[in-house]
A and B are shown apart, each in its own frame.
Chain A
């Protein structure tokens, strides 16, 4: 019997330690983490949205936004959390309060109580994208699936061997070369401020 399935804290520790380095196992762990808690977290978010009438966001949008922020924090920041479910709910709560504040122009007389693990949550820093970037995105989409797939795998912290295996390339060396070319092409497009028309 797998002890990780029985003890939520052990399981969360496993998730954090697998998601942080990324790669193929990290991606599996991300989806595993979502599958483990999303029903319970969605119910709580649904209640939170109901008791905060100023929040016009859909429950599922908050659920997904909060999850992605959590993954970002696990992978790029140092998080000291024990319960990922509580962390996820804490982020969701902060997103809802942000929404309420924005729509009602609500000014809190004192700072809201700090939510579990959510010291600095700003989804905009993660999700915002300029018009120019949208053009780049269009370019990536149209320039063939391989460049996009490779760069996304690289961003998910797959090592070059894993990328080569995943995309059926001749080897890590080839993967590294293609990554370098694709990344540089994008960098140049952005630096030149190109808006690509296709």
Chain B
């Protein structure tokens, strides 16, 4: 038997892949040739070292699988925590923004500041000095009660444009100072039904917003709760 063939036989034996007839052949060789017996004995020692290394290597792979799983779990947990925190932040920000956006004073100011653009059509070339000017100034300075009084003095003006401009701003000053009570809503409805553009359209929009469920929810339920929480948060 050639040397190469003997080595292959020993390799198969060491790897546990030897067939029964080959094993018998190898046993005979071991008995007849002490060098082969010695080689097999030494090779088995090498196999022990190699097996140790292989299992050490394999164990490292198993540890890496465990670790990747732990990393994945902690990553998932971290992600989840971050997601929840961000969601809470977004929700709280939205609620605070909504409470501020739908606050009666903010609504009144928004409509008041928006209107100069719209009222150019009706108020262009009109004399807005005196009480009217003072009323606008007071509204801008958020002195709503004063603005209300000044606008009321202009509500009966013989010029229908000035009269309707003052009536509209009376409604806004009332909204900013007292909030939207039922009587005010009725007056707004009447105003929107009897006024011409742009007052009619603007007042109708305001009426629809004030009566929307979202506005109701924010002003009747959310704002009081946020106001209650504010001192605690601070």
Residues of A within 8 A of B (CB): 30-31, 34-35, 38-39, 60, 63-64, 67-68, 71-72, 75-76, 126-127, 129, 133, 136-137, 140, 148, 151-152, 155-157, 180, 183, 186-187, 190-191
Contact = CB atoms under 8 A, between A and B. Distances in A.
Contacts of A152: 50, 53-54, 57
B53 A140 contact: yes
Interface size range of chain B in the complex: 20 to 34
Given A34-B65, A76-B16, A71 B50 contact: no
Given A38-B66, A152-B54, 7 more contacts: A34-B65, A39-B69, A60-B66, A68-B58, A151-B53, A190-B46, A191-B42
Contacts of A63: 62
Contacts of B42: 187, 190-191
Contacts of B69: 39
Nearest to A78: B16
A75 B16 CA distance: 8
B15 A187 contact: no
A71 B54 CA distance: 11
B52 A157 contact: no
Interface string B41-73: 011011111111111011101110110010000
Contact of A190 (B45, B52, B57): B45
Contact of B58 (A71, A76, A148): A71
B187 interface: no
Interface string B61-105: 111011001000000000000000000000000000000000000
Contacts of B113: none
B25 interface: no
Q: Name B's interface SS.
A: helix
A64 B66 CA distance: 10
B53 A137 contact: yes
Q: Name A's interface SS.
A: helix
Contact of B49 (A34, A64, A137): A137
Contact of B52 (A31, A39, A64, A129): A129
Contacts of A75: 16
A18 B57 CA distance: 20
21 contacts: A31-B65, A35-B65, A39-B69, A60-B63, A60-B66, A63-B62, A68-B59, A72-B51, A72-B55, A126-B51, A133-B52, A137-B52, A140-B49, A148-B53, A152-B50, A152-B53, A180-B7, A183-B46, A187-B39, A187-B43, A191-B45
B17 A190 contact: no
A157 B45 CA distance: 18
Nearest to A190: B45
B3 to A, nearest CB: 11
Contacts of A183: 43, 46
B48 A67 contact: no
B48 A129 contact: yes
Given A186-B46, A190-B42, A157 B17 contact: yes
Contacts of A35: 65
A155 B15 contact: yes
A34 B46 CA distance: 27
A116 B17 CA distance: 25
A82 to B, nearest CB: 22
Nearest to B10: A183
Q: Specify which of B59, B62, B66 lies most central, judged by the most chain A CB atoms within 10 Å of its CB.
A: B62
A179 to B, nearest CB: 9
Nearest to A61: B59
A75 B46 CA distance: 18
Contacts of B55: 68, 72, 126-127
A145 to B, nearest CB: 12
